[in-house]
A = this chain, B = another copy of it.
Amino acid sequence: MLSFECDYTEGAHEKILARLLETNLEQLPGYGSDHYCQQAKEKIRRACSCPEAEIFFLVGGTQTNDVVIDSLLRTYEGVVAAKTGHINAHESGAIEHSGHKVLVLPEHQGKIDAGELESMLVDFWDDESYEHMVFPGMVYISHPTEYGTLYSKEELKSLSEVCRKYHLPFYMDGARLGYGLMSSETDVTLSDIAKYCDVFYIGGTKVGALCGEAVVFTKQNMPAHFLTIVKQHGALLAKGRVLGVQFDTLFTDDLYFDISRHAIEMADYMKEGLRKKGVKFYLESPTNQQFVILENSAMKELQAKVEFSYWEKLDEDHTVVRFATSWATKKDNIDRLLELF
């Protein structure tokens, strides 16, 4: 059966598997101290134009959010995020398990607004009883968001300015970062992200790796004893090489960017095809996730032939569903999908 269910239905890019095979019997030290991890970090620093960046490799996205956020917050602080932010909606309370509240801002197609953020902060500090509340301790965004949307450079700059004014670390969840960077509609580069964010992660799991996320601290602000904090959260991989080799490969000869561009091309091709068929979009997504509106009866017919994600009920008769492309999407399959409309 055809599947556009998500961007992690295949294994890893073949070059990654080839490198894992080539390096397999090298005896290497554990916990990320091997030379592949070092190499990968150096390549990422260059890709970010951020020579002072401190980098740590983790296994998955929720884990990364939990570890980074818990390591940066004081016990009485919470993390500000959009209502639809992954940490608020789809991480089974991982942030709360580590003792922190998610302080919710309204979402605008998945994004938060710098003005609304500043209002929240002004209100907090103006409130006579702020000492009885959770202190805003950092700001979380996802880019692309859960709706596939992107912040503009100007929007990132504005958020960053508010964060600095209030001394809040600004953190970007880049689970699908490659797809954001290669969008034809973005003006944001990896260097911009390194400049505006205090910490972000470059997603591997959804962009060609078996698993793995690269956390980048851009301002020499990696918390002391971060490795121990990682271990305490059960997030330290014994064979760190598995992450090192993968990211080393992804950041050799621009592989990460090339495979991300492929996903965007496939998304654009699918979008154009669906539009021609008269399919209505729930919103304009410039990345690899496309949200379309289907009549319920049409949706049911389609489900017999292709896998996609249920997103939300629009009204009694219509449903929003998601089709995702990825580094591994085949053009033929999109043609087959389009034939079904």
Binding site for B on A (CB under 8 A): 3, 5-6, 8-12, 14, 17, 20-21, 23-30, 59-67, 70-71, 74-76, 78, 89-94, 96-102, 104, 128-129, 131-135, 205-206, 210-211, 224-225, 227-229, 231-239, 241-242, 307, 309-310, 328
Contact = CB atoms under 8 A, between A and B. Distances in A.
B24 A62 contact: no
B12 A236 contact: no
A9 B24 contact: no
Contacts of A24: 10-12, 14, 17
A90 B236 CA distance: 12
A25 B210 contact: no
Nearest to A58: B234
A63 B235 contact: yes
Contact of A9 (B27, B64, B310): B27
B234 A66 contact: yes
A303 to B, nearest CB: 12
Q: Chain A: interface secondary structure?
A: loop
Given A20-B11, A239-B205, A228 B97 contact: no
A227 to B, nearest CB: 5
26 contacts: A8-B238, A10-B24, A11-B20, A11-B26, A27-B307, A62-B231, A62-B236, A65-B234, A70-B75, A76-B228, A76-B229, A76-B232, A78-B93, A92-B131, A92-B229, A93-B100, A94-B233, A101-B102, A131-B228, A131-B231, A135-B225, A135-B228, A205-B238, A205-B239, A210-B239, A233-B234
Contacts of A14: 24
A336 to B, nearest CB: 13
B101 A98 contact: no
Given A92-B231, A94-B232, A234-B67, A225 B76 contact: yes
Contacts of A17: 17, 20-21, 24
Given A78-B93, A235-B63, A225 B99 contact: no
A233 B101 CA distance: 14
A328 B231 contact: no
A101 B90 contact: no
A231 to B, nearest CB: 4
B30 A11 contact: no
A59 B59 contact: yes
Given A11-B20, A76-B92, A30 B6 contact: yes
